[in-house]
């Protein structure tokens, strides 16, 4: 996995030139500088008015930095441009020949009708051998090497913890929403890329890079439009063979398509066509924002050894619901059926065995209803007994009764040592303290029976 | 509305006999006693082993309480029975003739296959003129008069704040989940009724009562099965004419139907038939748990003056999305279209006016995109300009940028003084502090663009 990639300088730069650096975090050039200083790269802030910015030597011009590199350092890995759109072409010309990649953060290109200006920077990049990310973009965040080009202060947009989920978004706004939601769901992140108008580097290039990224197991990709359809399908397919890719396509209707067009300046095709092509090539699509975040959480929790299995020649979609509240089990079963999961009866011989263990008022249908009399260990007994009869398990733990405690997390963790079947949890408990032991044990927790069922469906649909 | 109702003794009892009262909250008879002592009713705990329980005089038997009532107090309003199922018939016989209503909390009836026992208590109630709630039920919680028969300690199941939403649930488990979710969504509650196996009092009787309850404007009703279909439809229709009724039917498929059957012992009919009958009679149905909670929140926030209107002879479903993040606006627009809302273009003359006010990079399509440069007052300018052009508004406030603050709550509150169009908010902000000012101003806040869109759709579908 150690072969080089043309996007290495973008994701692991040793040198970063920041054009439009500022001395204060009241300006975005100051926020980005502050964030960049946390990385291990050499930072070269450019600002004609300061000799020093935030304790780092500043340079009066791009030319002044170039002289430095010409004098011995060779070429620069990455330039980040935060200047008005009209200045960007000249800045890029100044980078030609000695800078490998550039992130154009600035807006004011195709998304505002400035197609000529956008075409101009595209040409300059191509001619000068500079790979361009953007314009109109957030750039790159890497939780592992601490590269952070986002123009949003870490206090204002908290970064999720380190983990194995990469986030791609054409839209900076959706990226910030995904950050908040992924963090709230306690999911860990590897890299994030906001690629905006995608004048050069697009989702396909990033998929290609992430396919070999050792920190990334799951890629969630918010897409409004795709420039080159064939390139996209090839890259998405190749990525899906190595990692788990989940796409969320926005702009599904005529109105949405128009909005997506005005927003990033790329043309969005007819959604139905896009969606059917994805299906045809086995590329997973989710219907909405919550589903994307919930699925990422489920996939991130389940280790890569958890493959959907073929039980006794079955569908691979047989699920067992184990609950301590009848009604919640029924709601989960309803959603399982909508998701085309098979809420199959408990095999008769297992029903007999379970009846021998449990009080007569426990219900051994599926959902298995352990009632308000349940104790944590009851769940473990059922899971052990049925582990080879189902492809996945949905556990419902309602905490209003005294028998359900956080030690259930331990019970499920032990089950997972003996089974690689996906397992998800729904609880009514809205506080953090009940959820944390489960999530530490790699068991994804959801706040409604339906969301848990949808996450389980994703786990059984997506093979890792 | 001051006419009497046969269920008055159940909902506003002046006297309550608790059969199976206990001295400690380690027993459910103690939890219920503790909860009952918070009400204004006279409490008569029955327990042969104690002369006093929790500071209240206890009675050795039902007969001993009867003597007291015979001696001058007339009849008792409500008895609550927390004893093994096999004892319930004799207890009820002892209540015949002098007790108006009884809640049979005990399980062990039809839901465990004990149909004969269930039929027996049904007969005893009918012969003795005792209206029965349950068996296998939580009973009644009233946030206004503090009646609380739930066998769940208030520390273990926190009660939502006082408000105008009534919650009905056949399932005790789903009731507890609704309590947690309604509380987490900061929605206020009037009454809750867990009616279990519904041997006598059923959802229809409770609908009838709630139709005239001055504290209730919205009724959310979780249903697994309906005993008398015609009675149900008539009561639901009558309630829907006075209040807003939202139903969630569980047990939608063959598997779910079976689960619902085993759980409360009532037969669940084919879901498709049930659902089409509801539609035919204008009774609102929601598809899942989150939707029920989200809709209750939206309806509770909007005052009763907010009726869906007919704008310029339009559909009554024209919505405007006002965002500071393009992509999130597109996701909201997608869901609006799935909900059959009309994300109609901004009228041309209004586009011109807005262009005169705002910077050129703001987008005046629908979604109206005020970009990361937005300030709180920009939202107010758009709302004022477009208030007569749309039936409802979905505002997206992404807080990673500095121009969005909680003073937006004030801006929207002022708009609502001039317009009765429904308005909902989506924000990425997962903390409480950002949401509270909005919810205090009666603006429902949602954690994803799609959930906000679905709530807006409900507001435009349900006339109050």
Tell me whether residue A457 is in a domain.
yes
Q: How far is the alpha carbon of B85 from chain A, nearest alpha carbon, in Å?
A: 12
Tell me whether residue B143 is in a domain.
no
* Model confidence band, residue A266 (pLDDT cutoffs 50, 70, 90): low
Query: Nearest to residue A400, comparing CAs of A379, A436, A363, A371?
Result: A371
Interface contact B259-A372, CB threshold 8 A: no
Q: Which residue of B has its CA nearest to A320?
A: B255
Q: Which residue of B has its CA nearest to A340?
A: B253
Those of residues 151-180 in A touching chain B at CB distance below 8 A are 152, 156-157, 169-174, 176-177, 180
CATH number for the domain including B394? 3.40.50.261
Those of residues 42-71 in A touching chain B at CB distance below 8 A are none
Q: Are residues B297 and B169 in the same domain?
A: yes
Tell me whether residue A364 is in a domain.
yes
CB pairs under 8 A between A and B: 231
Tell me whether residue B148 is in a domain.
no
Of the three residues B278, B301, B324, the one that is the final residue of a domain is B301
Q: How far is the alpha carbon of B63 from chain A, nearest alpha carbon, in Å?
A: 31
Q: Are residues B325 and B448 in the same domain?
A: yes
pLDDT tens sequence across A406-455: 999 999 999 999 998 999 999 999 888 999 999 999 999 999 999 999 99
Across the beta sheet with B423-427, the strand order is: B368-369, B319-323, B392-397, B423-427, B445-446
Sequence-ordered strand ranges (E) for B265-383:
284-285, 319-323, 368-369
> A109 Cβ partners below 8 Å, 6+ apart?
A85, A115, A117, A118, A121, A135, A136, A197, A199, A265
Least confident of A12-21, A64-73, A288-297: A64-73
Q: Are residues A18 and A30 in the same domain?
A: yes
Q: Mean of the pLDDT values across residues B22-27?
A: 94
pLDDT tens sequence across B122-135: 999 999 999 999 99
Q: Mean of the pLDDT values across residues A251-263?
A: 58
- What range does the domain containing A167 cover? 158-301
Q: Are residues A126 and A110 in the same domain?
A: yes
Q: How far is the alpha carbon of B22 from chain A, nearest alpha carbon, in Å?
A: 17
A333 and B CB contact within 8 Å: yes
Report the pLDDT value the prediction gives residue B463, as an integer from 0 to 100. Answer: 62
- Give contacts of B170 with chain A, Cβ < 8 Å: 327
Q: Are residues B322 and B452 in the same domain?
A: yes
CATH number for the domain including A40? 3.40.50.720
> B136 Cβ partners below 8 Å, 6+ apart?
B104, B106, B107, B108, B109, B110, B111, B172, B196, B197, B264, B265
Q: Are residues B291 and B386 in the same domain?
A: no
Q: How far is the alpha carbon of A268 from chain B, nearest alpha carbon, in Å?
A: 12
Report the pLDDT value the prediction gives residue B275, as an integer from 0 to 100. Answer: 86
Q: How far is the alpha carbon of B366 from chain A, nearest alpha carbon, in Å?
A: 7
Within B387-442, where are the H helices?
Answer: 407-418, 432-440
Residue from B254, B262, B291, B334 to probe the interface with A (highest A Cβ count within 10 Å) = B334
Of the three residues B301, B330, B362, the one that is the final residue of a domain is B301
* Model confidence band, residue B304 (pLDDT cutoffs 50, 70, 90): low
Q: Are residues A221 and A205 in the same domain?
A: yes
B30 and A CB contact within 8 Å: no
Q: Are residues A49 and A171 in the same domain?
A: no
Report the pLDDT value the prediction gives residue A329, as an integer from 0 to 100. Answer: 96
Q: Are residues A453 and A316 in the same domain?
A: yes
Q: In this model, does residue B30 exceed pLDDT 60?
A: yes
* Model confidence band, residue B93 (pLDDT cutoffs 50, 70, 90): very high
Q: In this model, does residue A67 exceed pLDDT 60?
A: yes
Report the pLDDT value the prediction gives residue A423, as an integer from 0 to 100. Answer: 96
* Model confidence band, residue A270 (pLDDT cutoffs 50, 70, 90): confident
Tell me whether residue B281 is in a domain.
yes
Those of residues 99-118 in A touching chain B at CB distance below 8 A are 107-108, 111-112
Overall domain count for chain B: 3
Q: How far apart (Å, rounded) are the C-alpha atoms in residues A216 and A97?
A: 32
Least confident of A192-196, B251-255, B329-333: B251-255
Report the pLDDT value the prediction gives residue B20, as an integer from 0 to 100. Answer: 97
Q: Are residues B313 and B293 in the same domain?
A: no
Q: Which residue of A has its CA nearest to B111?
A: A361
pLDDT tens sequence across B185-225: 999 999 999 999 999 999 999 999 999 999 999 999 999 88
* Model confidence band, residue A111 (pLDDT cutoffs 50, 70, 90): confident
Report the pLDDT value the prediction gives residue B368, as an integer from 0 to 100. Answer: 97
B275 and A CB contact within 8 Å: no
Q: Supply the ipTM of this predicted assembly.
A: 0.90
- Give contacts of B157 with chain A, Cβ < 8 Å: 400
Q: Are residues B297 and B311 in the same domain?
A: no
- Give contacts of B338 with chain A, Cβ < 8 Å: 252
Report the pLDDT value the prediction gives residue B308, as an integer from 0 to 100. Answer: 43
Tell me whether residue B144 is in a domain.
no
> A374 Cβ partners below 8 Å, 6+ apart?
A324, A401, A403, A404
pLDDT tens sequence across A237-252: 999 999 999 999 998 7
Q: In this model, does residue A78 exceed pLDDT 70?
A: yes
Of the three residues A301, A336, A352, the one that is the final residue of a domain is A301
DSSP-derived letter for residue B25 is T
> A417 Cβ partners below 8 Å, 6+ apart?
none
pLDDT tens sequence across A11-59: 999 999 999 999 999 999 999 999 999 999 999 999 999 999 999 999 9
Report the pLDDT value the prediction gives residue A378, as an integer from 0 to 100. Answer: 97
- Give contacts of A172 with chain B, Cβ < 8 Å: 325, 327, 372
Tell me whether residue A149 is in a domain.
no
Q: Which residue of B has its CA nearest to A366?
A: B259
Tell me whether residue B145 is in a domain.
no
Report the pLDDT value the prediction gives residue B36, as an integer from 0 to 100. Answer: 97
CA dihedral (A452, A412, A351, A315) in degrees, to 10, reads 50
- Give contacts of B172 with chain A, Cβ < 8 Å: 325, 327, 372
Q: Are residues A288 and A317 in the same domain?
A: no
pTM: predicted TM-score of the whole model, two decimal places: 0.91
B135 and A CB contact within 8 Å: no
Q: How far apart (Å, rounded) are the C-alpha atoms in residues B118 and A247?
A: 52
């Amino acid at each position: 996995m150690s072969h080089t990639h043309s996007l290495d300088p973008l994701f692991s730069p040793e040198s970063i030139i920041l054009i439009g650096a500022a001395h204060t975090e009241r300006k975005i050039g100051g926020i980005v500088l502050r964030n960049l200083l946390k990385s291990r790269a050499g930072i070269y802030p450019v600002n004609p008015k300061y000799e020093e910015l935030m304790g780092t030597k500043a340079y009066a011009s791009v030319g002044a930095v170039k002289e430095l590199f010409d004098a011995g350092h060779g070429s620069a890995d990455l330039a980040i441009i935060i200047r008005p759109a009209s200045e960007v072409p000249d800045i890029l010309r100044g980078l030609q020949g000695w800078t490998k990649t550039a992130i154009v953060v600035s807006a004011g290109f195709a998304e505002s009708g400035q197609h000529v200006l956008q075409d101009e920077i595209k040409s300059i990049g191509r001619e000068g051998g500079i790979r361009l990310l953007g314009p109109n973009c957030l750039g790159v965040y890497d939780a592992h090497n601490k590269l952070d080009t986002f123009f949003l202060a870490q206090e204002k947009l908290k970064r999720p913890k380190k983990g194995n989920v990469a986030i791609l978004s054409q839209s900076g706004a959706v990226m910030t929403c995904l950050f908040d939601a992924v963090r709230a769901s306690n999911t860990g992140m590897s890299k994030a890329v906001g690629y905006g108008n995608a004048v050069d580097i697009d989702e396909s290039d990033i998929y290609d890079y992430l396919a070999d990224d050792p920190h990334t197991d799951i890629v969630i990709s918010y897409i409004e439009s795709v420039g080159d359809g064939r390139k996209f399908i090839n890259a998405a397919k190749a990525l899906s063979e190595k990692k788990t890719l989940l796409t969320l396509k926005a702009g599904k209707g005529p109105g949405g398509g128009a909005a997506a067009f005005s927003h990033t300046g790329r043309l969005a095709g007819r959604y139905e066509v896009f969606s059917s092509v994805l299906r045809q090539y086995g590329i997973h699509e989710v219907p909405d924002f919550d589903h994307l975040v919930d699925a990422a959480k489920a996939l991130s929790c389940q280790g890569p050894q958890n493959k959907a299995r073929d039980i006794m020649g079955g569908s691979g979609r047989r699920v067992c619901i184990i609950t301590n509240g009848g009604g919640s089990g029924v709601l989960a079963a309803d959603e399982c059926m909508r998701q085309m999961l098979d809420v199959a009866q408990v095999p008769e011989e297992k029903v007999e065995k379970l009846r021998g263990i449990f009080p007569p008022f426990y219900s051994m249908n599926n959902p298995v209803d352990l009632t308000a009399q349940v104790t944590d260990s009851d769940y473990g007994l059922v899971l052990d007994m049925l582990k080879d009869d189902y492809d996945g398990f949905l556990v419902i733990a309602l905490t209003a009764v005294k028998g359900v405690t956080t030690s259930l997390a331990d019970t499920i963790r032990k089950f997972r040592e003996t089974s690689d079947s996906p397992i998800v949890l729904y609880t009514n408990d809205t506080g953090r303290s009940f959820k944390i032991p489960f999530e530490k044990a790699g068991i994804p927790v959801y706040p409604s029976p339906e969301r848990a069922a949808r996450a389980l469906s994703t786990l059984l649909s997506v093979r890792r």
